């Protein structure tokens, strides 16, 4: 696992520092992951599978990759993947899962708080699935995702739709969530820089942490970068 050095911090670091003290996100997410042997299902996210299955593999970045199921699925389909997350606990699990599945050769795991990160290279695909951080406004985190897409590449952002939140999240605060339209507006995903491919709200059935059946709604934005910014 790579731990990014402070040289990757950027001049807007103070913006994020207004929202959370340095290290808060890492501590909070490490605690959350440590409270369970396994946090997520281990299956790739359904909107990722639906939206990426037909893309030609290249270099992918999974922002907030958690326990690594999406990154491993991408690697198995021929992508070279960078999985970035603030939680070292999650990344250790992700790396172990990748080794177990024989997919570790083409995945790099990077432990990094997005609050002090700027993309230092560009990717053919940047995916952010349920990157709902309490420490940093989603506009800021997901603007970074958009900035990491190379011309001709794909941005895929999926989040819990504000009208279909999972019932188990007692912590829900409305400002953490967005519709696909919110994303397009706030991130300025529009011509001439972008072509919007999917702007959608999708209902799906899922299994909750106690094995219960739940109905969720996903906000889905997929766009192709037409030109460098
Ligand atoms: C709801 S989980 C989603 C994980 C994974 N994408 C999935 O769908 O299973 C959100 C993830 O974002 C990560 N995260 C939250 N805030 C972050 C930050 N400031 N920098 C980097 N990662 C962050 C968390 O550690 C967590 O793994």
pLDDT digits (tens, 9 = 90+) for 185-211: 999 999 999 999 999 999 999 888 778
Pocket test for ligand 1, best of 10, 21, 29, 93 (most atoms within 8 A of CB): 29
CA of 183 to the centre of ligand 1 (A): 18
Q: What kind of fold does domain 24-225 have according to CATH?
A: Rossmann fold (3.40.50)
Q: Which residues contact 201 (CB under 8 A, 6 or more apart)?
A: 161, 163, 164, 179, 180, 217, 218, 219, 220
Domain spans of the chain, in order of start: 24-225
**What is the average per-residue pLDDT within 11-16?**
33
Mean per-residue pLDDT of the chain: 89
pTM of the predicted model as reported, rounded to 2 decimal places: 0.91
Which own/partner pairs from 177-184 qualify as long-range (CB within 8 Å, at least 24 positions apart)? 177/132, 177/138, 177/219, 178/138, 178/219, 179/219, 180/219, 180/220, 180/221, 182/219, 183/142, 183/157, 183/159, 183/219, 183/221, 184/221, 184/223
pLDDT digits (tens, 9 = 90+) for 88-145: 999 999 999 999 999 999 999 999 999 999 999 999 999 999 999 878 899 999 999 9
Q: Which of 37-41, 66-70, 167-171, 207-211 has the lowest mean pLDDT?
A: 167-171
CA of 76 to the centre of ligand 1 (A): 21
State yes or no: cis peptide before 169, omega within 30 of 0: no
CA of 102 to the centre of ligand 1 (A): 24
């Amino acid at each position: 696992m790579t731990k990014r050095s402070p040289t990757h911090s950027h001049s807007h670091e103070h913006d994020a520092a207004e929202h959370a003290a340095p290290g808060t996100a890492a501590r909070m997410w490490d605690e959350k992951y440590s409270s369970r042997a396994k946090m997520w299902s281990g299956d790739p996210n359904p909107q990722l599978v639906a939206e990426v299955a037909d893309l030609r593999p290249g270099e992918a970045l999974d922002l907030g990759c958690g326990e690594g199921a999406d990154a491993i699925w991408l690697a198995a389909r021929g992508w070279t993947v960078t999985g970035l997350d603030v939680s070292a606990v999650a990344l250790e699990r992700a790396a172990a899962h990748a080794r177990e599945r024989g997919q570790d050769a083409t995945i790099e795991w990077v432990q990094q708080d997005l609050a002090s990160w700027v993309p230092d290279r560009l990717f053919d695909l940047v995916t952010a699935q349920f990157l709902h951080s309490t420490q940093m406004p989603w506009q800021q985190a997901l603007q970074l995702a958009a900035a990491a897409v190379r011309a001709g590449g794909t941005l895929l952002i999926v989040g819990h739709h504000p009208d279909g939140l999972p019932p188990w999240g007692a912590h829900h605060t409305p400002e953490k969530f967005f519709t696909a339209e919110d994303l397009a507006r706030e991130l300025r995903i529009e011509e001439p820089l972008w072509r919007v491919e999917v702007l959608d709200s999708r209902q799906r059935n899922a299994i909750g942490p106690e094995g219960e059946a739940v109905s969720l709604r996903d906000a889905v934005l997929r766009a192709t970068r037409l030109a460098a910014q």
